[in-house]
Structure 1
Amino acid sequence: MKTRKQGNAIVLTIPAKFGIEENIDYIAIKGDDDSITFIKKKANLFKTAFEDNRELEVGDGFPDDNPVGKEQL
């Protein structure tokens, strides 16, 4: 694969054999060695719950203990 300039952006064309669908948002992360990793962006669960007029529950496993140390102001 080879990059190309398109307007003010650098474009990397991904071959169809990778099976990437159209119009999917990804987050690009650049590593210390200049490698790039693409991670599929997930929906914001807070925004989705707000739009659907739902409340979020923390569920089982959420710590019930009292704070100790610097986290207590």
Structure 2
Amino acid sequence: MPRTPSNSKAGLLLSLGGSAVAVVRTVKQMRRSRGTQDKLTALNTVAGLVPLVTSALLVLRRLRGRSRRHAR
């Protein structure tokens, strides 16, 4: 059974930090694949980057929603 994501601010920030580290690692892999001109690895890296960016954007949206609710 999948766990529901934590709604705590610390949990959301930790998730965002994990996504940021994964994006940095993926960008480094992309640079390496461009250096070797391996198009298949570059394509695989881009395909792996899309869910990471989406995940980070979802966490940011949840953080913004929390800050708007607390500001009222």
TM superposition score normalised by structure 1: 0.24
Higher strand proportion (structure 1 or 2): 1
Which structure exhibits the higher relative contact order, with contacts defined as CA atoms closer than 8 Å and separated by 6 or more residues?
Answer: 2
Greater helix percent: which structure? 2
- Greater gyration radius: 1
